[in-house]
Structure 1
Amino acid sequence: MLRIAFKSLLAFLMIISLYPSGHAQAKVELISNTPLSERLHDITLHSPALGKQTSLRVILPKGYEESEQTYPVLYLLHGCCGDYKAWTARTDIEKITEDLPLIVVMPDAGRGASYSDWYNGGAYGPPQWEKYHIKELIPWIEQRYRAKGTREGRAVAGLSMGGFGAMSYAARHPDLFVAAASFSGVLDTNLDPEFLEKTIFQNQEKVPPGTVWGDRETNEIIWRSHNPWDLAENLQGVDLAIHTGTGEAGGPLDGGLESPVEETCFVMSTSLHNRLDELNISHVWDSYGPGSHTWGYWQRNLHQTLPRFMDIFNNPPEAPIPFQYKSAESSFSIYGWDVTFDREKMEFARLSDVKKTGFKLQGSGKADVQTAPWFKPNGKYHVKIKGDRGARVVKTRADDEGRLRVSLDFTSKHAGDELSVSIKHKKN
């Protein structure tokens, strides 16, 4: 008990590092932790990324306090118009995880905030839901509880807007999650921007048009930079499952209701499924026919998903090498690699064919690339940079951790230029 009390005190006072490491720090303050049952806790935190208090529920494994075992974590995301209580209020999640060695985390995400850092008319700033979930909540969970704390020990799933969140987070951060599942998810926002802007953003968050991702016509790149369909290539190596009904009447778990919302989600889910097929990315595709946008189906999806997740946790696939990653952010970190662009406008860039012998980078302007610690510490290397206008060789040295830094200058200011970098160890 003394050890548990000491850990609780540390969690209350702890300064939590942003995730991934290597950035500034943010304080996540524990406001309250209320046990609702032997395993279920209702928790309130203060989040700097949100600029306010926010709540979550955590389900611990049976016998957690007596054990010293570490556990995988499932981040279970709610849909539009719901909150962090939805999964425990509407499903048997506590009962069906009773005998599983699993921590379940159910965070709040706003009624229609769409798991994103808001544009706010170009001012950005709070609420930053992605920053909260990824850079504050995950590290807090992994320091507060005996979580495994690796990609192989994290999965994410959600329904409707939460299905979008699960696939968007997995696509934007494939180095954080080994598996992702969507239940009736909003998985291709290119198909019906008005559905999100009016039905979710304006009607639920009560914000002016363009607040969340900006105006679609002038800020399309922000919309697409969060869209699972546009980021589908990043999902290579993540175990994926997509579940959806068609929205047609006659489903078995809803009294035969028709659902235009489920029909919209079906079209979007089908679009991502087809895109994954085009990319030869393996995934579970469960299109179960007539069925509405209701909890009976999502509970069934959850029952189908949990055994799969537990199998993956027990035998996780290795992170892909070589890998590729597409992002529109001016700087990003992926599998230990850090890329920062100095360019005129936001646009997609692609880091690809990444392995120990080199990589390719597509983009514009100038870029600074720091590799993962894959190389001999303090070792000397020849780096050959090749583009349309020829090639040059740069001599460099790895740092004490075995990271190389490569500066790239693209030949034009237009997206689409690609530089190929080969790396060769120079033996003394």
Structure 2
Amino acid sequence: MNKTIFTIVLFFVILYSNASKIDTIQVYSAAMKKEIKTCVITPDNYDQSKKKFPVLYLLHGYSGNYATWVKNFAEVMKQVDTYNFIAVCVDGNYSSWYFDSPVDSDFKYETYIISELVPFIDQSYKTDTSPNDRAITGLSMGGHGALYLSFKHQDVFGAAGSMSGGVDIRPFSEKWDLKKRLGSITKFPENWEKNTVTNMLDLIHNNKLKLIIDCGVDDFFIEVNRNLHQKMVALKIDHDYIERPGAHNDEYWSNSLQFQFLFFSKFFNNGKN
């Protein structure tokens, strides 16, 4: 074999062999009586290692699914290898908003994630099960979902993030199937008040939950993110808040993921060798 060709082939084999692994699994939800697909990304040393790994849960945006992260963001796989933790790509059924719908019993995604998916992952993979080794983030609808779930379940998640999150859903009552999940805002205003992140800050105590929130300055969610940030500052809730040039699109989120993965890596390694 030509030496140059051999070198290229060898480089490709080495590059390919040191790569994260993607499992597509199905998790049964007793709450919703159906199987739900999930992507689990493990780092390149997962099979060889005897140690347990931290886990980051990723929530897609409206109209996405469990495969969105793998298909649209190649850097997720690279960074799983770089930072050496497991990433779980959750399916939120297009437009669940990741809570238990008070008007549609077919949508119980809070129950699914907290009571069914997380225990399944911990039983099936080599995971550290402390909240100090479990985090959650998401984009758009998933940003709202990640903050919503982490605020309510600080015994499950020790850190959370939001990228371009719809952190106050009330100004968007006619969009993104929200009315299907919560009912009309005029008929059921309590559903909207109770299930929007910006109204849930009273759940955060002692700044134990580590938070990172970012949004592009040209994003249609920028004002609700700024309002949330200002409210958190007033309440002395510790958090990282970032605004950068960018809109509500994959280009912005590809950049955002780099900041978020670094944040969660530091969280997972805090106090560890």
TM-score (norm 1): 0.56
SS at match of 1:241: strand
Q: 2:85 aligns with which of 96, 102, 115?
A: 102
**Do the aligned partners of 1:50 and 1:127 also contact (CA within 8 Å) in 2?**
yes
Structure with a larger share of its residues in helix: 2
Q: 2:46 aligns with which of 55, 64, 67?
A: 64
- 1:38 CA displacement: 5.8
The structure whose Rg is larger is 1
- 1:233 CA displacement: 2.7
Q: Distance in 1 between matches of 2:237 and 2:102?
A: 31
Q: Distance in 1 between matches of 2:232 and 2:223?
A: 14
**Do the aligned partners of 1:172 and 1:226 also contact (CA within 8 Å) in 2?**
no
**Do the aligned partners of 2:27 and 2:120 also contact (CA within 8 Å) in 1?**
no
Deviations 1:365-384 (A, max 9, x none): xxxxxxxxxxxxxxxxxxxx
Which residue does the alignment assign to 1:302? 257
Q: Distance in 2 between matches of 1:286 and 1:231?
A: 20
What amino acid maps onto 2:202 in structure 1?
E
- 1:52 CA displacement: 1.8
Is 1:85 the counterpart of 2:67? The answer is yes
Q: Distance in 1 between matches of 2:222 and 2:231?
A: 14
Q: Distance in 2 between matches of 1:225 and 1:186?
A: 15
Which residue does the alignment assign to 2:5? none
Q: 2:108 aligns with which of 116, 128, 138?
A: 128
Q: Distance in 2 between matches of 1:107 and 1:100?
A: 20
**Do the aligned partners of 2:95 and 2:177 also contact (CA within 8 Å) in 1?**
yes
**Do the aligned partners of 1:43 and 1:56 also contact (CA within 8 Å) in 2?**
yes
Q: 2:26 aligns with which of 6, 19, 44?
A: 44
- 1:126 CA displacement: 2.1
Q: 2:217 aligns with which of 241, 246, 251?
A: 246
Q: 1:237 aligns with which of 208, 216, 222?
A: 208
- 1:57 CA displacement: 0.3
- 1:161 CA displacement: 0.3
Which residue does the alignment assign to 2:270? 315
**Do the aligned partners of 1:51 and 1:127 also contact (CA within 8 Å) in 2?**
no
Deviations 1:73-125 (A, max 9, x none): 000110011111111111121112213220100010011111111223xxx53
What amino acid maps onto 1:51 in structure 2?
K
**Do the aligned partners of 2:152 and 2:203 also contact (CA within 8 Å) in 1?**
yes
- 1:50 CA displacement: 2.2
Which residue does the alignment assign to 1:211? 180
- 1:165 CA displacement: 0.5
Is 1:291 the counterpart of 2:273? The answer is no
Within 5 Å, give how 1:120-269 maps onto structure 2. Answer: 120=103, 124-190=104-170, 192=171, 195=172, 197-201=173-177, 210-235=179-204, 236-247=207-218, 262-263=219-220, 265-269=221-225
**Do the aligned partners of 2:20 and 2:41 also contact (CA within 8 Å) in 1?**
no
Q: Distance in 1 between matches of 2:83 and 2:142?
A: 23
Q: Distance in 2 between matches of 1:302 and 1:233?
A: 28
TM-score (norm 2): 0.86
Q: Distance in 2 between matches of 1:298 and 1:211?
A: 27
Structure 2: 5+ residue stretches without partners: 1-18
Which residue does the alignment assign to 1:282? 238
SS at match of 1:285: strand
Deviations 1:116-153 (A, max 9, x none): 11223xxx532211110111000111111111111111
**Do the aligned partners of 1:232 and 1:272 also contact (CA within 8 Å) in 2?**
no
Q: Distance in 2 between matches of 1:211 and 1:315?
A: 41
Q: Distance in 1 between matches of 2:122 and 2:194?
A: 28
Deviations 1:47-83 (A, max 9, x none): 1222222111000122212221111100011001111
Structure with a larger share of its residues in strand: 1
Q: Distance in 2 between matches of 1:246 and 1:63?
A: 38
**Do the aligned partners of 2:20 and 2:43 also contact (CA within 8 Å) in 1?**
no
- 1:212 CA displacement: 1.0
Which structure carries more relative contact order (alpha carbon 8 Å, separation 6+)? Answer: 2
Identity of aligned residues (%): 30
How many aligned residue pairs are there?
251
- 1:310 CA displacement: 1.1
**Do the aligned partners of 2:212 and 2:263 also contact (CA within 8 Å) in 1?**
no
Deviations 1:381-402 (A, max 9, x none): xxxxxxxxxxxxxxxxxxxxxx
Structure 1: 5+ residue stretches without partners: 1-36, 203-209, 248-261, 317-428
Q: CA RMSD in A?
A: 1.8
